[in-house]
Every structure is written in structure tokens, then in C-alpha cells.
């Protein structure tokens, strides 16, 4: 496996990536634009364990060329080697695959690059920026950081989606797209200054993530160990 993944697959293999074949056990539409697909892991959980915000790269065929996208594991159960992946549906080969996914279908997956460093000291406040594509990872983060209060900027539609935010300690600021960068630049500085041990988590499209990460790191001087940034999709 991996030979059909082009230069990206070859690079990942050189970096120690592990390949697996996942089998679909079922699927459900959470909303018309958000689909949850259930899998058995083909030994993935046994070989790698599970950690908060853990993600895998799925490989899709895009007009004869390999195309990979990253998805966060949801409800992973190492004992049964089962988990789900959630797809924010739009145009593209990944969404097309998810819409048609049914029991017995298989897809290749690669594990490389995922990881989670629990911030120390514990966050006094979490500042998170995401959208429907990164919602599974956001949910995993909120679960992992326990009782920490959070301010969440969420770009896009949230109604009907599975969100683990607790209204008693998590504030969600919903934004139309585009709007994330300007809103965060206007509101984050004063919030950061008001808490002793902040933690910043950014998981938007690649361009938004890059702009926010640069701003938070350079303009607001947040240390790299107190922030995490990963682009979850590329706007076209």
C-alpha cells in the first residue's frame, strides 16, 4: 500500500507513516450537509492507540490522481477497533465518497503527523477557532481539557451539528464566512490579557489558520507551546 498515493504517499512513508485499510460498517446523515461514517479500523487503533484530537489521512481518487484529506476520529473504541469520521459536505471527491459510503466499502488511511501535547500548566482559558470541518477535533479538545472555560469562534453553520460545548463554561461566537480573521484580531487581545495561562487552538481553512497563527504568535507573542494551529481544508 502507499505505491498508489503519488509523491505525497512516498514522502509520508519516508517519514514513518503507517497505512491501513478501513471498512465502512454504516453511515448516517446528521444534517443534509454533515455525514457521519462508521468504520472498523483494520488494526489502526491497536497499532497506534488513541489520543485527543487524533486524526488520520484518507486517500480518495480525484479523476485518477490520489487526493488525501485529514479527519478526526470520533467515538474511538480500542477494544472493538471501531470509530467514526465526520464529513462536512461540499463539492469535491472526499464529500462525494462520503455521500455514497455504505457498509462493506473500504478506503485506505495513513497515520502520520497526528499528536496531542496537553498544555502545562493547565489552561486558565481556552481560545479556539474552528468551523464545521474541524468540529470533531474541537469536540475532542473540549473533552480533553476538562473544566477549562473556553471562548470559541466558529465560522459557519452549527445548527444540528454534534457540539460538545457546555454553555456553563464555553462561549460560542458564531461568525459568517469569511469573518474569522477580522473578528479574532478585534477581540482576542483583550481576552488574552485578562487570563494568566491561556491556550490558543486554531483549526480553520489553510489560509485562515496561517493568518491567525502568524498573528497570535508574532503580534500577540503567544509562546508556541501555548498554541496549536492546523489547516483542516483548503479554500478554492
Is the CB of residue 119 less than 8 Å from the CB of residue 195?
Answer: no
Indicate whether 13 pLDDT > 50.
no
Percent of the chain with pLDDT over 70: 92
Residues 19, 112, 128, 185, CA torsion sign:
negative
DSSP 8: H
pLDDT score, position 146: 81
pTM assigned to the model: 0.87
Indicate whether 234 pLDDT > 50.
yes
Indicate whether 95 pLDDT > 80.
yes
Rounded distance, CA 148 to CA 132, Å?
A: 22
Query: Looking at domain 125-229, which of 3.40.190.10, 3.40.50.80, 3.40.50.1820, 3.40.50.620 is its CATH number?
Result: 3.40.50.80
pLDDT score, position 6: 63
Q: In the CATH scheme, what is the homologous superfamily, with its name and number, of domain 3-111?
A: Translation factors (2.40.30.10)
Rounded distance, CA 107 to CA 218, Å?
A: 40
pLDDT score, position 11: 45
- Grid cell 465560522 — which residue? 155
Residues 6+ apart with CB under 8 A from 65: 6
Indicate whether 82 pLDDT > 80.
yes
* Per-chain mean pLDDT for the chain: 91
DSSP 194: T
- Domain limits of the chain? 3-111, 125-229
pLDDT band at 1 (very low <50, low <70, confident <90, very high): very low
Residues 6+ apart with CB under 8 A from 221: none
State the chain's maximal CA–CA distance in angstroms. 52
- Grid cell 474541537 — which residue? 138
pLDDT score, position 8: 57
| Stronger pLDDT, 236 or 153, i.e. the higher one | 153
Rounded distance, CA 84 to CA 105, Å?
A: 14
Name the phi and psi angles at 101, rounded to 5.
-60, 135
Indicate whether 147 pLDDT > 90.
no
Amino acid at each position: 500500500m502507499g505505491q498508489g498515493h503519488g509523491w505525497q504517499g512516498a514522502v509520508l512513508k519516508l517519514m514513518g507513516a503507517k497505512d491501513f485499510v478501513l471498512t465502512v460498517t454504516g453511515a448516517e446523515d446528521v444534517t443534509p450537509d454533515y455525514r457521519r461514517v462508521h468504520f472498523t479500523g483494520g488494526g489502526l487503533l491497536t497499532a497506534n492507540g488513541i489520543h485527543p484530537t487524533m486524526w488520520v489521512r484518507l486517500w480518495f481518487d480525484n479523476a485518477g490522481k490520489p487526493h488525501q484529506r485529514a479527519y478526526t476520529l470520533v467515538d474511538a473504541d480500542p477494544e472493538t477497533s471501531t470509530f467514526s469520521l465526520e464529513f462536512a459536505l461540499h463539492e469535491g471527491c472526499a464529500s462525494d465518497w462520503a455521500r455514497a459510503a455504505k457498509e462493506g466499502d473500504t478506503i485506505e488511511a495513513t497515520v502520520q503527523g497526528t499528536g496531542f501535547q496537553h498544555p502545562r500548566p493547565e489552561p486558565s482559558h481556552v481560545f479556539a477557532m474552528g468551523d464545521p470541518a474541524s468540529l470533531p477535533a474541537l469536540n475532542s479538545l473540549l473533552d480533553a481539557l476538562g473544566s477549562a472555560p473556553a471562548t470559541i469562534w466558529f465560522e459557519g453553520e452549527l445548527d444540528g451539528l454534534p457540539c460538545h460545548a457546555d454553555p456553563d463554561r464555553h462561549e460560542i461566537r458564531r461568525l459568517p464566512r469569511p469573518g474569522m480573521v477580522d473578528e479574532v484580531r478585534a477581540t482576542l487581545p483583550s481576552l488574552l490579557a485578562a487570563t494568566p495561562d491561556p491556550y490558543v487552538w486554531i483549526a480553520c481553512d489553510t489560509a485562515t489558520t496561517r493568518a491567525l497563527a502568524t498573528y497570535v504568535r508574532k503580534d500577540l507573542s503567544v509562546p508556541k507551546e501555548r498554541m496549536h494551529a492546523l489547516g483542516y481544508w483548503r479554500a478554492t
